[in-house]
């Protein structure tokens, strides 16, 4: 699974409402979506794409935890968290090295510090060892 990250600020920039940073133009957003569509289309054509989804902005998220035996719900975005999971792509390929090769295409070389994570999906309890 290739995990993509973003922040509320990134979502605000895409929506043209950033208050403390650059705003993405409609053309920039369209180019980003076109890039993702091209990557996913290539993976579909090679038979390596399993699933891919983007997630809504952190402001729409809810964190549920228990405190004192009762559920406590916190509205997003979360001040203690700068980045959240923004989307994912599930691939089925020949090796972990190939997965890393594919993942490199999701990182914009013009955005220093941008990253994605690559993690195998566990098939069962035996895959959960550290």
* pLDDT tens digits for range 90-104: 999 999 999 999 999
Q: Do 1 and 89 form a contact (C-beta atoms < 8 A)?
A: yes
Residue 67's pLDDT is 95
Q: What is the structure's pLDDT at 20?
A: 72
- pLDDT score recorded for residue 112: 84
Distances (CA, A) of 7 to 15, 63, 102: 13, 16, 23
**pLDDT above 80: residue 42:** yes
The whole-chain average pLDDT of the chain stands at 90
Please tell me the pTM assigned to this model: 0.86
Residue 87 clears pLDDT 90, i.e. is over it: yes
Confidence of residue 46 (pLDDT cuts 50, 70, 90): very high
Name all domains of the chain by residue range, CATH numbers in brackets. Answer: 2-128 (3.30.70.1060)
In 24-50, which positions are buried (b, 16+ CB within 10 angstroms) versus exposed (e)? beeeeeeeeeeebeebeeebeeeebbe
- Please compute the mean of the pLDDT values over residues 73-96 and round it to a whole number: 87
Q: Do 87 and 53 touch, CB atoms closer than 8 A?
A: yes
């Amino acid at each position: 699974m290739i995990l993509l990250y973003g922040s509320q600020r990134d979502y605000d920039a895409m929506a043209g409402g950033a208050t403390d940073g650059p705003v993405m133009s409609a053309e920039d957003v369209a180019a980003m979506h076109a890039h993702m569509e091209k990557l996913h289309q290539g993976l579909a054509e090679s038979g390596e794409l399993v699933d891919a989804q983007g997630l809504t902005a952190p402001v729409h998220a809810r964190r549920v935890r228990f405190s004192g035996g009762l559920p406590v719900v916190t509205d997003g975005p979360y001040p203690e968290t700068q980045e959240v999971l923004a989307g994912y792509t599930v691939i089925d390929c020949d090796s972990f090295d190939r997965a890393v090769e594919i993942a490199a295409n999701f990182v914009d070389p013009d955005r220093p510090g941008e990253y994605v994570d690559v993690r195998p999906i566990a098939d069962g309890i035996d895959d959960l060892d550290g």
